[in-house]
Amino acid sequence: MADPISAPFIPVQYTGEETETSAERVASSEQAAGAIFQRAVKRLQQVNEWGQMCGALSSSFQLVDKLGEEIDETANAGLFIRIDIPAPGTSVGKGYDWVLIEQVEEIQLNDAQQLFFIRARPSGHPQQQHAGTAHFLKEEATSSFVITRDGEKVTATVYGRNEMPNTDVEDTLDKVRNAVVGATGAIGISKLQWKALVNALLEE
């Protein structure tokens, strides 16, 4: 269940699995909390650093533009994230899993409440979108990376919604791979990875 600040910005859960992985810090003042919030936002925007923040067993993450070129920028809507998970890759994704960043927003709700989020969704390879979703989860799935400040409390959460193994693919090996990866622990592994990420976002 999303917290009241985040709830309006999280997709509705209607199928498959839902996950929430969260960490929080309570600061000594609202001013200090604001500084923690802004630092966490800057860290979250650095997608290429996520793997390092998540630790040794994590997937690696690389921002990619619409032409399929690696870029060293902050997260923005319309960019792709190329994910190298600790498992065999897909042929349709040329060895990787892919998500599209569909929304990035920073919102000042009032003097005491702030919110920043990045929402991503499984996608095709940027150079061959017609080939279908190149991810172990179906396109209905979303991952929302959210940082909120409520007074002196700062919270970082990853919300997974509508997570189902992507077995609607033409390539037989991809179908088997996605069924195995999606059903036997990729979601669980992701949860461990996201726990490391949310903790890292809020560290000193």
- Tens-digit pLDDT profile for the chain (204 aa)? 788 899 999 999 999 989 899 999 999 999 999 999 999 999 999 999 999 998 877 789 999 999 999 999 999 999 999 998 876 667 777 888 899 999 999 999 999 999 999 999 999 889 876 667 887 788 999 999 999 999 999 999 999 999 888 877 677 676 766 666 666 555 556 778 899 999 999 998
Ordered domains of the chain (ranges, CATH): 19-202 (3.30.530.20)
Query: Rounded to whole angstroms, how far apart are CA atoms 93 and 117?
Result: 26
Query: Rounded to whole angstroms, how far apart are CA atoms 75 and 18?
Result: 24
Per DSSP, the three-state class of 168 is coil
CB 113 within 8 Å of CB 148:
yes
pTM, whole model, 2 decimals?
A: 0.92
Q: Which two tokens stand for residue 175?
A: 């179908």
Q: Which two tokens stand for residue 112?
A: 């005491």
Rg (CA), the chain: 17
CA distances from residue 160 to 7, 77, 126 in whole angstroms, order as listed: 13, 18, 22
Count the Cβ atoms, other than its own, within 10 Å of residue 182.
22
CA distances from residue 114 to 17, 35, 101, 148 in whole angstroms, order as listed: 28, 12, 21, 6
CB 193 within 8 Å of CB 61:
no
